[in-house]
Amino acid sequence: MKTHEGRTVMVTGGASGIGLGIVERFLDDGANVVSLDLKPTLLKAHSEAFLSYVGNAADEGSVDEAVAAAVARFGGLDIMVCNAGVIAINPVVEMDFSEWKRITEINLHSVFLGSRAAARQMIRQGRGGVIVNASSGAGRRGSPHLSHYCASKAAVVMFTQSLAVELAPHRIRVNCYTPGHIETPFWRDIADGFARVTGKSADEVVEGFRASVPWGRFGTPADVAAAVSWLARPEAEYISGQAIAMNGAEMPY
């Protein structure tokens, strides 16, 4: 029997990067998987155990409708992965309030909405469940030009810890993951952003971040997905309220 066979998982932001890696990992582990993203989630191969739901993870109606679609298609919801997020690079003194709101809304509000919808469904089912939220190493250490991103990801850690205590009587575990430097399609945008504010080239930015990782390489979506899958396993039932890092020994994450 596969690790998550017979369980249903929803992943927000599942169309690319870390989110797509998580979708693929849970499918490999035997789960039914629903991806909620602004664009369709395309898999390498068709799977009857997969549903791509197009919607906004930071919109209340979209999230509630996606959970309802998961229940209608697969009969329930066992695991929610609130992975959707965005990043931007700017000094505070040059940052528009609209940018601050966009980053904090998507990174934090989507976690609240996804967690709330999942918790409501899991409580109705009465068999417990697992919620795993996306924070970041940047949520555990401040960084110049990333104040909005750092603030939103730090808030996810505190929200996760609070919700873990609140939902423990329902046997719903809540944890978050705090990746370090993970190589995804977003890295080019990140490198270009830092190049703009630091005067370095994008290639210099990338190599500087790579050199900061003691393990000697960037992480991959598969690295993060393996940890998320493990956190969701029944054997991990005594782990709740934690922020789990995957960062190649980069400190102090």
Exactly one of 53, 153, 177, 253 is catalytic; name it.
Answer: 153
Exactly one of 2, 53, 101, 149 is catalytic; name it.
Answer: 149
Using H for helix, E for strand and C for coil, what is the string for the chain? CCCCCCCEEEEECCCCHHHHHHHHHHHHCCCEEEEEECCCCCCCCCCCCEEEEECCCCCHHHHHHHHHHHHHHHCCCCEEEECCCCCCCCCHHHCCHHHHHHHHHHHHHHHHHHHHHHHHHHHHHCCCEEEEEECCHHHCCCCCCCHHHHHHHHHHHHHHHHHHHHHHHHCEEEEEEEECCECCCCHHHHHHHHHHHHCCCHHHHHHHHHHCCCCCCCECHHHHHHHHHHHCCHHHCCCCCCEEEECCCCCCC
Is 53 labeled as catalytic in the residue annotation? no
Is 149 labeled as catalytic in the residue annotation? yes
Active site residues: 149, 153
